[in-house]
């Protein structure tokens, strides 16, 4: 059985800036204490896919500080190692640094009541305070160089700026006044941050005893899938079909990062801009793989399948997959019906206005998100159930059933029409294979002759006439399934065969 890969933990090992070393010591000291130090919150981030997944500290924060880790400190092939610190907030100061030495950005508090303003300084974005008529509580400084004199302020690409000069951002930020500095020395600012982290944060952590027993806080008990929701299916793209097919047969030929069924990326149940009134689970803001409920076979038309709340991208989601979870971890179910119900009610309420506002639509979105529950907790009763997967699905949890649609139905129609039609399709597939091995005029002409035989055989066939008209969006003479249309079907038959579907 293909099981989930445990992510590799990445430590902040860069030594690009003076404070990098103390940041690594902080992370390792927290790990020795099982990430549990009073007054300090640690959040983690996992990225990558398949057998190439990585875990790192996302942020460390307390009442008067925050460290955010998202700076590139090396390359790991397909992905960057982004576990280095990139943003730091300590009392009355904030610093942003980047791996390409651009910036840095330095912000100082200049308000009059730190106790009152501390929370805002720690959490609120600092941009355009003057333009937005907000009180003057901070000054912002950007990296620069004065090697040609103070009248020719400039920067050097990929070279650290020796000074941090106030930037009013075209008049959108407040200027320094009185004794407030117009510039700082970069190395002095870096030293101040390094010392504060050493003398306050690291010392505070080291004052706590090391854990007697190391606890793997990331290891959770696997939840058996016990839900009785019926068969589950989803839609996927060509790259998904190729990956799943190869992973079922020759997984070793897949790149390590591609050794999975489906990723956990997808549409959110709640958009990030939709406020939570306290009734919606936080997980609703995550990305999900949306799945429907119902039996699927290679005879099930994609037009008969519906995933409530999800509109299939017909030009991309051309394949149908059966989903059979081997564990219930991070799989949920929600009811789309409350969304439709509240949306209909709102349209009645706003008459004669005919268009809903964003906030009114948010009401419907929240109504749906309130129904979100773990899949194993489902006891039935949802009118439009949708299964939402918030983790990678392993290769043994998904099975390619049919596609690419809608061409797949005409491939099957020709193949199953009669012995003669099936033979003609096989001849065309052999000719196409020969053409793929030798892109010459002779091979091309042989393929065209075989498709012409299929065209002639199906002249006047009502089903293929309508298909030709719909799929190609062109008006063929007498709406007949001509060579261009049949070539299209044969190419897709070749794709289906390569994926084991025909």
Instruction: Assign 459 a pLDDT band (cuts: 50, 70, 90).
Output: confident
- Coil vs helix vs strand at 445: helix
Nearest to 306 by CA among 365, 411, 383: 383
Mean pLDDT, all residues of the chain = 90
What was the pLDDT predicted at 14? 96
Nearest to 122 by CA among 74, 169, 89: 89
Q: Are residues 108 and 254 in the same domain?
A: no
Q: Are residues 183 and 240 in the same domain?
A: no
Tell me the pLDDT tens digit for each residue of 491-501. Answer: 999 999 999 99
State what percent of residues in the chain have pLDDT above 90: 71
In a domain, 219, yes or no: no
Across 41-80, b (16+ Cβ under 10 Å) vs e yields ebeebeebbbbbbbbbbebbbbebbbbbbebbbeeeeeee
Quick count: other Cβ atoms within 10 Å of Cβ 485?
Answer: 25
What was the pLDDT predicted at 121? 94
**Contact call for residues 94 and 126 (beta carbons, < 8 A):** yes
Residues 6+ apart with CB under 8 A from 64: 90, 91, 118, 122
pLDDT exceeds cutoff 80 at 461: no
Structure tokens, 142: 């950007």
Range from 95-99, 303-307, 483-487 carrying the lowest mean pLDDT: 483-487
pLDDT exceeds cutoff 60 at 474: no
Q: Are residues 467 and 383 in the same domain?
A: no
pLDDT exceeds cutoff 80 at 154: no
What was the pLDDT predicted at 148? 63
In a domain, 227, yes or no: no
Range from 102-111, 278-287, 304-313, 475-484 carrying the lowest mean pLDDT: 475-484
pLDDT exceeds cutoff 70 at 106: yes
In a domain, 338, yes or no: yes
Omega before 104 within 30 of 0, i.e. cis: yes
pLDDT exceeds cutoff 50 at 479: no
Structure tokens, 297: 């076979």
State the Cα–Cα distance between residues 232 and 451, nearest whole angstrom.
37
In a domain, 211, yes or no: no
pLDDT exceeds cutoff 80 at 151: no
DSSP letter, residue 337? H
pLDDT exceeds cutoff 80 at 250: yes
Identify any residues that bridge with 288 across adjacent strands, giving them in sequence order: 267
pLDDT exceeds cutoff 90 at 275: no
**Contact call for residues 83 and 90 (beta carbons, < 8 A):** no
Tokens 């101040």 found at = 192
Mean pLDDT of the 15-21 span: 97
Q: Are residues 40 and 174 in the same domain?
A: yes
Q: Are residues 456 and 493 in the same domain?
A: yes
In a domain, 1, yes or no: no
| Full residue range of the structural domain in which residue 334 is found | 232-401
What was the pLDDT predicted at 369? 95
What was the pLDDT predicted at 287? 92
Q: Are residues 374 and 484 in the same domain?
A: no
Q: Are residues 38 and 154 in the same domain?
A: yes
What was the pLDDT predicted at 152? 53
DSSP letter, residue 209? P
pLDDT exceeds cutoff 80 at 475: no
Tell me the pLDDT tens digit for each residue of 331-388. Answer: 999 999 999 999 999 999 989 988 999 889 999 999 999 999 999 999 999 999 999 9
pLDDT exceeds cutoff 50 at 290: yes
**Count H helices, E strands: the chain?**
12, 20
Q: Are residues 390 and 433 in the same domain?
A: no
In a domain, 77, yes or no: yes
Range from 89-103, 153-167, 258-272, 309-323 carrying the lowest mean pLDDT: 153-167
State the Cα–Cα distance between residues 409 and 318, nearest whole angstrom.
12
Phi, psi angle pair for 68, to nearest 5°: -115, 130
- Coil vs helix vs strand at 299: coil
State the Cα–Cα distance between residues 100 and 16, nearest whole angstrom.
10
Domain count, the chain: 3
Mean pLDDT of the 191-218 span: 95
Of 401, 435, 460, the position where a domain reaches its end is: 401
Of 378, 401, 424, the position where a domain reaches its end is: 401
Nearest to 463 by CA among 489, 432, 424: 489
Phi/psi region, residue 386 (left: phi>0; alpha: psi -120 to 50; beta: rest), is beta
State what percent of residues in the chain have pLDDT above 70: 95
Q: Are residues 163 and 63 in the same domain?
A: yes
Q: Are residues 118 and 179 in the same domain?
A: yes
Residues 6+ apart with CB under 8 A from 104: 95, 96, 97, 98, 142, 143, 161, 164, 186, 189
In a domain, 2, yes or no: no
Nearest to 288 by CA among 385, 392, 374, 379: 392
Taking the mean position of all CA atoms in its chain, how far away is CA 488? 33
DSSP for 157-208, written as a single string: TTS--SEEEE--TTTTSPPP-TT--SEEEHHHHHHHHHHHIIIIIIHHHHTS
Q: Are residues 418 and 441 in the same domain?
A: yes
DSSP letter, residue 377? G
In a domain, 345, yes or no: yes
**Contact call for residues 393 and 247 (beta carbons, < 8 A):** no
Q: Are residues 202 and 268 in the same domain?
A: no
Of 366, 401, 436, the position where a domain reaches its end is: 401
DSSP letter, residue 394? P
What was the pLDDT predicted at 4? 56
């Amino acid at each position: 059985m293909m099981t989930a890969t445990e992510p590799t933990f990445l430590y902040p090992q860069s030594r690009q800036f003076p404070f990098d070393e103390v940041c690594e010591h902080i992370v390792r000291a927290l790990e020795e204490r099982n990430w549990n130090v009073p007054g300090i919150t640690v959040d983690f981030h996992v990225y990558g896919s398949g057998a190439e997944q990585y875990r790192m500290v996302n942020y460390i924060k307390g009442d008067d500080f925050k460290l955010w880790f998202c700076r590139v400190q090396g390359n790991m092939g397909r992905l960057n190692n982004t576990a280095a610190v990139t943003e730091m907030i300590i009392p009355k100061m904030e610093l942003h640094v980047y791996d390409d030495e651009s910036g840095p950005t330095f912000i100082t508090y200049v308000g009059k009541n730190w106790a009152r303003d501390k929370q805002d300084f720690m959490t609120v974005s600092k941009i355009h305070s003057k333009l937005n008529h907000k009180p003057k509580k901070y000054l912002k400084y950007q990296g620069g160089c004065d090697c040609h004199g103070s009248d020719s302020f400039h920067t050097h690409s990929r070279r650290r700026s020796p000074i941090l000069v106030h930037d009013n951002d075209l008049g959108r930020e407040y200027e320094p006044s009185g004794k407030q500095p117009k510039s700082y020395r970069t190395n002095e600012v870096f030293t101040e941050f390094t010392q504060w982290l050493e003398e306050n944060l690291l010392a505070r952590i080291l004052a706590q005893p090391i854990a007697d027993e190391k606890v793997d806080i990331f290891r959770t008990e696997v939840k058996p899938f016990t839900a009785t929701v019926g068969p589950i299916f989803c839609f996927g793209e060509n790259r998904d079909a190729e990956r799943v097919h190869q992973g079922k047969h020759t997984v070793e030929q897949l790149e390590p990062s591609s050794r999975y069924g489906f990723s956990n990326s997808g549409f959110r149940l709640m958009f990030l801009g939709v406020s939570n009134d306290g009734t919606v689970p936080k997980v609703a803001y995550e990305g999900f793989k949306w799945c429907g409920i119902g039996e699927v076979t290679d005879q099930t038309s994609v037009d008969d399948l519906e995933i409530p709340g999800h509109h299939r991208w017909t030009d991309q989601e051309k394949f149908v997959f059966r989903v059979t979870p081997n564990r219930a971890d991070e799989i949920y179910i929600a009811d789309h019906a409350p969304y439709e119900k509240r949306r209909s009610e709102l349209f009645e309420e706003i008459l004669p206005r005919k268009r809903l506002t964003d906030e009114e639509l948010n009401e419907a979105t929240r109504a749906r998100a309130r129904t979100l529950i773990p899949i194993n907790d489902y006891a039935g009763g949802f009118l439009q159930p949708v299964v939402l997967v918030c983790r990678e699905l392993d290769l043994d949890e998904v099975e390619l059933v049919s596609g690419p649609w809608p061409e797949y139905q005409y491939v099957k129609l020709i193949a199953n029409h009669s012995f003669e039609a099936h033979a003609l399709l096989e001849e065309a597939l052999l000719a196409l294979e020969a053409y793929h091995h030798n892109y010459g005029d002779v091979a091309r002409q042989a393929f065209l002759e075989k498709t012409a035989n299929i065209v002639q055989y199906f002249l006047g066939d009502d089903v293929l006439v309508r298909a030709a008209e719909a799929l190609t969006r062109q008006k063929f003479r007498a709406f007949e399934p001509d060579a261009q249309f049949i070539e299209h079907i044969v190419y897709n038959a070749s794709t289906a065969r390569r994926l084991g579907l025909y």
